[in-house]
Each structure stands twice: as C-alpha cells, then as structure tokens.
A and B are shown apart, each in its own frame.
Chain A
Amino acid sequence: MTHNAVIVGGNRIPFTKAGGRYADASNHDLLTAALDGLVARFGLSGQRLGEVAGGAVLKHPRDFNLTREAVLSSALSPDTPACDLQQACGTSLETTVYIANKIALGQIESGIACGVDSASDAPITVSDGLKKALLKASRARSVGERAKAFAAIRPRHLAPLAPGVAEPRTGLSMGEHQALTTEAWGVTREEQDEIAAASHHNLAAAWDDGFFDDLVTPYLGVARDTILRPDTSVEKLARLKPAFGGPEGTMTAGNSTALSDGAASVFLASESYARENKLPMLARVVDAEVAAVDHPGGADLLLGPVAAAGRLLERQGLTLDDFALIEIHEAFASTVAATLKAWNDEDFCRARGLSGPIGTFDHSKLNVAGSSLAAGHPFAATGARIVPTLAKLLHAKGPGSRGLISMCAAGGQGIVAIVEAV
C-alpha cells in the first residue's frame, strides 16, 4: 500500500550574501527561523509531526544534531523526531525525497524537509598537528605527560583551517571544475550572462507579483533576497571580469552563485492527513533518482544529474514534453547551459547508459520564478527553496501539471525529482 506524499507548502527566510545581514546568525538560528515561519503559516504549534529531516553542508561539530535542536527551539511539539542528512547541494531535495518516501510507505503521515547553510558561520577547525597534541594532552595521566603533549605543538600547527572549497580528490574548486566543463561544451559568455540576467529578472518579477508572500518570512529585518539585482542586464553582466577559467575565462561573479546564508523548509503530508487537517495540497512528489559520475576520472563534475534525469524519465515513461515546468539549479549559469546541451547529446546520454538523448524543451518553461544565481545558494537550503516554489507554480497551472527538478551536487553527484500538481 503506498500513499500519495503531497507538498502542502513551504517557508524560507530571504537569502543573503555571506557576511551580510545574517553574519551573526548561526545555522541553528537560520533553520529555526525557517521552521518558525512554517509553524506559524500552517498552525503547527504544539503539533507532533512524523519527522523533520534537514541538513547543512558547512556544519560545526557542535551541531551534530542540528535539525533536532532546531525542532526543540521551534514551537513544534518536542515529541517531533528529526534527523540530519547531507548530500552537498542536493541536501534538501534529498530530505524532501526522504520525507516523501516515508509518507509513501505509510511510516509517517506528515513531515518537514529542510536545509540551511551559512557561509558566515563556517566551521574553522584546527590543524591535525594541534588536534593530535590536544587529544594526547587530554588523555595524559600526569602533568609531565601533559606538558610533553603540549611541547609537541609547533607554531605552524596554530593556523586555523577554513573548510575546504576544493573537491578532495581533484584539488579543484567547484568553479575550476565548471570552467573545464564550460570549455569542453563550448558554453559562451553570452549564453551564461543571458541565463544570469533571466534569473534576476524572473525572481524580481515573482517578488513584485507577491508570489513569495506565502513562501518567505522576513528574518532580522531582511524581507527580500539581498543578492537579487532586478536592474541587471546582459550588457551590465558582460562588463564583469572572469572569475574562473583564467584571463580568457567566461565565468564571472555575475554568472556564478555567490556564497550565501539562508534556510528553507517544505511541509509534506499524506493526502489523507492533508484532507483531515484541511491543509492545502499543491503537488505530489512522484519519483526521484540520484546519480553520480567519475569526476576524479575526468567526468564533468556538475553533470551528475544528467544520468539521473534520463533514468528517471525512462522509468516513468515520460519525455521532456510531458513537463509544464523545469527547474535546473543554477550552481553556475554554465552548469545550466551545459546540462541543456548534455540532455540533447546522444553520445553523452548513451555513454551514461541511457537509450538516447533526453532531448530539448521550450526554454520559457525553465526556472520561471528565478533560481540560485539571483536568489543565492545557501547550499543545503536550495532544494527546499525550489520544491515549494515549483509546487506552487504547478498548482496554479492546474491538476496534472508536471515539473522536473535537476540539481547538481559536489562529488560528481546529482539528484532529480518529479512533482505533479494535485
């Protein structure tokens, strides 16, 4: 017996640039703020939900139980369990799938999928040398032993370590990896700047239409995404200097996502729970697929989701024509451009084990309410930003309207999901 898992709604806080208005807030604060707004919107105060699943990519060791702690700070019943889950930038689409699967299996009736990241509150750790000396000192049984342990500390051990932004196996940053992909797929500067400008214009229009009024709650006086530049244009973006790919590179700060702070959440329930509690039903979670590529072996780091999209569509017997809207996470504008090219590349798709190219679609269906370039990309929060946005857009289009979400993630991974308006 399976149950329909429906998206009831969502709530996020406006996203900001790292070091901006949320510079003093921790992941715990941001996630609690996102949950507070969701609880207020759907009257969940004091209610026990089936489970809350959340995560963060940049996470302090003290936050080992981040989501549970945020639940305890929120007005949800303290009897609501939670778990932390992390799949790099795919985190809160993965938490959505996790909660939806549990609902589909009848294990829970309601749940929240969420994610948060603060590049302002990134964990700074100590060097291995200092760590070893400190641990040795804490195990020491005598003053002499402790002194000996401390004596092993050298000045070079004292430099703090910021979290790595490079892929562990290649030593290349995500931008450097994407620059290789940009080059390999011949993605032009103009293509990228057009995607970036469209993202800003679409997001600005959605804000102006009041689209986010029931999806976003202000936090610390921030009422709108602060990275958003409504008046940007392809011409303005064209003036920016390359950030990745050397002096001849085409990737700039304007067509790459900025380091961001933010949190987002999705409220999911079984259809019966939603009916009983008179909750809205925007769309149901149909299916999802994850995939990975061998990026240490030279594969394009951020084209992991292509195989996931192909396998998912084949399993569901669907083509791109069956979708009213498509969301491709804008890690970089060039990721979107390369994904579109890869979807239509027969050799690439066959090499991924697919029976043929995924195909093309009318680009007016793509990221219609803006995406990460304009909104910002607090890594683990992006999935939970996209899901309610897409569910609301599809719901407005009428029952049966389908949407596809494709998200790339570090480690050559990707996650893709299908939602369908109820």
Chain B
Amino acid sequence: MRPKLGGCLIIVNTKTLESVPGMGAGFARALIPSRASQARMPQHDLRVADVKQDVGRLADYCRVTGFTLRNHVPPTWLHVLTFPLQVHLLGDKDASVRLAGAIHVSNTMTLHRPVSSQDVLELGVGTTDLRPHRKGALVDLTSRVRVDGEVAWEGVSTYLAQGMSTPGEVEERERTPFTPVTPQARWRLSASLGREYRRVSGDPNPIHTSRIAARGFGFPRPIIHGMWTHARALAALEGQLTDSYTAQVDFLKPIFLPGTVGMVSQRNAEGINVDVTDKRGEKAHLRMQVRPHG
C-alpha cells in the first residue's frame, strides 16, 4: 500500500521477477508506437531481490562517467540498475506510454545512506499518478533500492509522453530562469560516447547511437543519454559529496554527439548547483541541484 496524493490509499500489487529483465524484449515492446491518446500506466510495482552488482561493469561505468571506483557506488549507478525494470514496466500491456518517444524531462534521486558495491540489492520500480502537461502527459517512474530491507536509495524519473492526455489541470512549475555564465570546465563528448554509455547502462535506445534513428525522432545527430550528463555532473563534485543527499536534475536541451559543452558549479547555503551549458555558457542543457541531508 502506498499513499495516493489527496490522502486516500490505493492498493498496489507487486510483481516479483526472478531476475533483472533483459532490456531487448522490453525495449522492443516499448518501441512499438502507441495509438492510444489517453496516457495509461500499469497499476503494479515490479520487484527483484538478491541482485548482486558486477564490479567490472561498475568500473566501466565509472570510467565512462568520470567517477572514481570506490567502495561506495555512485547513486546514478543505482538508477542504471533499476532502469531495466522501468523499461519492463513501460513494456507492459497496460502501459500506453512508450519509452521510445517519451522524453526524460527531470529526475530526482535521494541517497539515504552509502551503498557498497558488495551490497546485495532489492530493486523496485513503480509508477505514481499521471498528470497533464502543456505538451502531453507526465509520468513518474519511482525506483527504490533496498539493502537488508532498508531503503538506501530512491529515484523519481519523470517522462513526458508527448501528445497524450490525462485528466487534470496542468501544473505550471516555476523554474529559476537561467542566466548566461562563464563555464568553469569544458567537456568534449566524442562521437562514440553514446555507444560507450550504452555498453555500461544497457540502454539500447538507438537515438543515442544512430544518426538515422536520431533523425527519425527529429534530431540531426545522436544525443547523449541524459543520465550520462547527470552522472558526469555529479562526478564533477565527487570529493564534495556527502553520505546522504538528494540530486535533482532538469533535462532542458539535448546534447548532440559529438559535441562540446560547458559546466559551472556553485556552492550555496543549501548545497551545490551545477549547470551543464552549451560551449559558451549561453544556454543550459541540464540543471542540477545537490542538497546534502543531515
């Protein structure tokens, strides 16, 4: 059971999978265009227990995203581990929202306590209410990582299903306006970065690796995975990250491959803000806020 917005409770079924599903079949289903105009999501959660982490793949992930390979894993790695469950859920017959074509618009993750690469994990993914957006419907996929029964990490990935509708009022979210900055750092993203991140994340979306597929979705060139940019931005703060924090990102504009972007970070009383911008610092691609707990 979990609380529904508004205070009443709804019963949620949990389907337990034997192992983390492969992403090929689920992704293929998620690629089939939906003819539905109403956004629908399955009403069950997915759960996989006893997930051991592959240190070799973690090392590769760290190499591609800029993290140091430590005892404690980056929280973005935990997102990567739960991602196949998100794909599986979106491939469900009750889902009208398709992953391919849905836009990852924002993401929030909270690390409640450090998670070791040796920890055996229980992964869970579910959805919360759909809500309307100017351009379609927003859906939140919620993910949870438990260690020894205790929630160690939680994530909320918000996707925009373009052109779909769902009942309710459009909620206008206020964003702090971006003012141009002088980048502190410049990242050169190689043409092969999409393939490298696909290897470590398992995300097979061809929009990140194929020019033809990218064109099919209206992009002139492949775009890097938003979660790569998120991870890279968090890795830039590495030494300053605490044991427990929340990282919230908005994905504002796609980054084309190959490409060069700028980065600025700024520490304030609440935490650290990072902007990944275009080369000159005039437009923001990603805005991240990191807020330490305790």
CB neighbours of B60 from chain A (8 A): 24
Which of B60, B63, B71, B118: most chain A CB closer than 10 A?
B71
With A24-B55, A76-B239, A78-B239 known as contacts, the answer to whether A29 contacts B69 (CB < 8 A) is yes
Output the least CB separation between B106 and chain A (Å).
28
Size category of the B interface is 10 to 19
A1-36 interface with B by 8 A CB criterion: 23-26, 28-29, 32-33, 36
Output the least CB separation between B114 and chain A (Å).
11
Say whether A323 faces chain B, with CB atoms less than 8 Å apart.
no
With A26-B69, A29-B70, A36-B70 known as contacts, the answer to whether A221 contacts B55 (CB < 8 A) is yes
Say whether A348 faces chain B, with CB atoms less than 8 Å apart.
no
Residue interface mask A216-236, B partner, CB < 8 A = 1: 001111000000000000000
With A220-B117, A221-B117 known as contacts, the answer to whether A25 contacts B239 (CB < 8 A) is no
Residue interface mask B38-67, A partner, CB < 8 A = 1: 000000000000000001100110110000
CB neighbours of B71 from chain A (8 A): 33, 36, 218-220
Output the least CB separation between A54 and chain B (Å).
15
B68 touching A73 by the CB < 8 A rule? Answer: yes
Say whether A334 faces chain B, with CB atoms less than 8 Å apart.
no
CB neighbours of B56 from chain A (8 A): 23-24
B59 touching A75 by the CB < 8 A rule? Answer: no
Say whether A74 faces chain B, with CB atoms less than 8 Å apart.
yes
Give the dominant DSSP class at B's interface: helix
B60-86 interface with A by 8 A CB criterion: 60, 62-63, 68-71
B76-105 interface with A by 8 A CB criterion: none
A24 touching B69 by the CB < 8 A rule? Answer: yes
B70 touching A24 by the CB < 8 A rule? Answer: no
Whose C-beta in chain B lies nearest to the C-beta of A28?
B68
B118 touching A25 by the CB < 8 A rule? Answer: no
With A and B bound together, what is the CA distance between A26 and B63 in angstroms?
9
Say whether B238 faces chain A, with CB atoms less than 8 Å apart.
yes
With A and B bound together, what is the CA distance between A219 and B71 in angstroms?
6
With A and B bound together, what is the CA distance between A219 and B69 in angstroms?
10
B235-265 interface with A by 8 A CB criterion: 238-239
Output the least CB separation between B51 and chain A (Å).
15
Say whether A299 faces chain B, with CB atoms less than 8 Å apart.
no
B118 touching A73 by the CB < 8 A rule? Answer: no
Say whether A72 faces chain B, with CB atoms less than 8 Å apart.
yes
CB neighbours of B63 from chain A (8 A): 26
Output the least CB separation between B178 and chain A (Å).
26
Whose C-beta in chain A lies nearest to the C-beta of B59?
A24
A220 touching B68 by the CB < 8 A rule? Answer: no
A72 touching B239 by the CB < 8 A rule? Answer: yes
On B, residues with C-beta under 8 Å from A are: 55-56, 59-60, 62-63, 68-71, 117-118, 238-239
What would 6 more interface pairs be, CB under 8 Å, given A75-B239, A220-B117, A221-B117?
A: A24-B55, A26-B69, A29-B68, A32-B70, A73-B68, A73-B238
